[in-house]
Amino acid sequence: MKILNRNKIPLILLLINLFVILVTISSVSADSTVYVNATVGSDFNPGTSNLPYLTIGKGISSVDENGTVQIADGIYSDEGNTNLTISKNMTIIGQSRDKTIINGTGTNWIFNVSNDVNFTIQNLTIINGTAYNGGAIDNQGTLNTGNCTFDSNNAVNYGGAIYNSGTINLNDCIFTGNAAYEGGAIYNDHGISTLSSCILTGNTADAAGAIYNYRSSTNITSSTLNNNTAAYGGAIYNTEGSCTLHFNRIVMNTADYGDNIYCGSGSKLNAEYNWWGSNDDPSVKVIGAKVSKWLVLTVNSSSTLIKGNEFSNILADLLHDNTGIYQDPASGHIPDGINIIFDTTLGTIDSPVSLVNGAAQSILKAGSTSGAASVSAAADSQTSYTLVNIDATSPTVTTIDPSNNTKTNSTPQVITVTFSEPIQAGSAYDGISVTGPSGTFPITKNIIGSTLTLTLDSSCIDGNYSVNIPINAVKDLAGNSLASVFTSTFNLDTRVPTANASVKTGSYNVTKTITLNMNESGLSITLQMELHQLLQAKSTKHHL
């Protein structure tokens, strides 16, 4: 009989223990993430990606603490997929928001989150949940929800979609068509709720169409609350609690009392820097609190004067408060995606354009018609305007001194050119010239309003002069250049005309031709001459 070497026994035991540890680790790793598929799964499967479970309930019961349940696209309803209690920390992730659907079928609630549990759900659509409180979810722990939709859930009492007595953090979630006696979408009861980039629309209740905040703290940023309906507080009812809202779109909510917000006794509301659908004071739609600062729709153009067939950038934004102070979007802004409707009375403009980081930019293209274009930007119930002047006409010369094709005997020191409208220097401004008998004259140019002055920097001599203004030498304030080259000429003649004539004396009562010799030609002369006749008379007296 062969005796086993005693030294090898510890080594064998060590290998066995190592194998057991590896198997255990492998088993733990497998359960840290489990998979569910309503189409090909089975609750008798091990819950792997290749062999997934059939129901969400099986995934929840099988996954480890702090594990993840991955749910494939499909519709999950009835037993095993509803009335689920979450009693350990975990995350449930749907394959895609629109196609991973949990349906309560109008008879079941979906999740009940126990106290001290941290529960996260992502990429899910939860519909038709029904309960006394919290039609879809009753949360007593910490609920983190991202990229989820809650649609058509109902509660007999509080919280059509969510009843919260713990902490909820909601990001990029949609609540639509939910209903309850109080808190059509969410009822916050001695809890903490934080909403960011969420949409709450079309929810209904007797009090608080969207959110009821009772002895709780609610913080909402960059979210949309619209078209919610209630008797009290169309969007929010806040009583004995603290509610902070910044950079939200709160519009078109309706209620008998407080279309947007109703604040009851002992409540605090900080609702500055929100967009309420118009530039008017929103306090008329808030009961029990005063709103002192709100965002307004402004519209401006990059150029208030453009020439025909050119462009002006039009910027509309919700980044200024009612006192005109700019709010840096890096510190928060209205939700992206709000459509701005642009329009114009002249030219064309792109529309609509969606807000991004609180601003939307479009381009106005001028046509060939001159005039003032009234450019508008509209969002919700507000329309704001800016003016852009379109100048499609080139400037023309109306007068020039000395005038064109004239002769002057006064040496001009300044040539004055007057245009049909105010002008500015163009790209060929240095090409403006005055030429004379001895060549091009040095000149000093100056523009004031619609007048161009050309100061001659040297003395002129008699002769012909030409003023030349190239097409691009000047332009109007819109940028239109001259339609053609402008040229004007004049003649300078500073000589004093003289004449001489030779008339013989001693003649009278005769017709004579007098020749005047002028020192230059082309002059009009008027002669006035008086001919005097000298008569000499002699008288003789005879005596008889």
Encode pLDDT of 191-213 as tens digits.
999 999 999 999 999 999 999 99
Fold of 297-391: Immunoglobulin-like (2.60.40)
Position 4 scores a pLDDT of: 42
Position 530 scores a pLDDT of: 47
* Comma-separated ranges of CATH 2.60.40.10 domains in the chain: 297-391
3-class secondary-structure state, position 445: strand
The secondary element (H helix, E strand) that includes residue 293 is none
The 8-class DSSP code of residue 133 comes to E
pLDDT mean over 223-244: 98
Distance CA 492, CA 460 (A): 8
pLDDT at 501 over 80: no
- For the chain, give the mean pLDDT: 90
CATH code 2.60.40.1220 for 397-492:
yes
pLDDT at 114 over 80: yes
pLDDT mean over 379-390: 98
Distance CA 507, CA 534 (A): 10
pLDDT at 12 over 80: no
pLDDT at 233 over 80: yes
Task: Work out the number of other CB atoms within 10 angstroms of the CB of residue 292.
Answer: 11
The residues near 185 (Cβ < 8 Å, ≥ 6 apart) are 150, 159, 160, 161, 162, 175, 178, 200, 203, 209, 210, 211, 228
Distance CA 518, CA 249 (A): 92
CA dihedral 209, 215, 219, 224 (to 10 degrees): 0
- Which of residues 42 and 10 earns the better pLDDT score? 42
pLDDT mean over 524-530: 50
The 8-class DSSP code of residue 39 comes to T
* Comma-separated ranges of CATH 2.160.20 domains in the chain: 104-293
* Comma-separated ranges of CATH 2.60.40.1220 domains in the chain: 397-492
3-class secondary-structure state, position 329: helix
- Longest Cα–Cα distance of the chain, Å, equals 222
pLDDT mean over 399-407: 95
> pLDDT-derived band of residue 443, with 50, 70 and 90 as boundaries?
very high
> pLDDT-derived band of residue 533, with 50, 70 and 90 as boundaries?
very low
CATH code 3.30.70 for 104-293:
no
Residue with the two structure tokens 């934004």: 317
Give the CA angle between residues 384, 387, 392 to the nearest 5°. 150
Distance CA 158, CA 105 (A): 19
Distance CA 339, CA 360 (A): 9
Distance set, CA 10 to CA 1, 5, 13, 17 (Å): 21, 10, 5, 10
Q: Which residues pair with 278 in a beta bridge?
A: none
pLDDT at 539 over 90: no
Position 389 scores a pLDDT of: 96
